[in-house]
Structure 1
């Protein structure tokens, strides 16, 4: 799962959002590391819809513009949970290896 897809799914946990709301939430969740452009957002959303991880929720007209809201599906929630577990396991492996390396390299020069 790509980082943008991971954060888009995460942004949709708990409530449907429209495009701009997803972009803003992803930026906040990623601590400004992931900045989605509109083309990227809708390309990833389209793939997530085709994969059944996200579904259109509703459309509303606000300030003369049509806003389409998307929601996380049950399958999307399961996929996000699995990806979060995978990432946590990978981070744990790297952290353990780094902890094991520190005592050996503490006295040496880098």
Structure 2
């Protein structure tokens, strides 16, 4: 049986997760969803309805940039990439999450819960 992942934690981690994925290069929404699932060992399964508002917010905030491209099948697909501002935010987020994780590990007595 799958362990529950709480919405608040998923919401809080969505920006650094998407920025981290995009630090590996330009990609599109469906591939981001697959990467989240892969990176979490299947524990996180984001939906389109969860991801696209995050992408729109990150784009509005200037952390990512999107561009439309036609696929071989003739459909339009939006590809996203990190901006310079997004790279700086990812660095800040990485430091913050490491501090939170370290504090939690200490409070749990160093156990791997």
Q: TM-score range by the shorter chain?
A: 0.7 to 0.9
Larger Rg: 1
- The total of aligned residue pairs comes to 101
Aligned to 1:61: 71
Aligned to 1:108: none
Aligned to 2:84: 74
SS at match of 1:93: helix
5+ residue gaps, structure 1: 103-110
CA distance in 2, matches of 1:3, 1:14: 17
Q: Which one of the candidate residues 16, 21, 30 is aligned to 1:20?
A: 30
CA distance in 1, matches of 2:27, 2:42: 19
Aligned to 2:55: 45
5+ residue gaps, structure 2: 1-10
- Root mean square deviation, CA, Å: 2.0
Q: Which one of the candidate residues 2, 27, 40 is aligned to 2:12?
A: 2
TM-score, normalised with respect to structure 2: 0.77
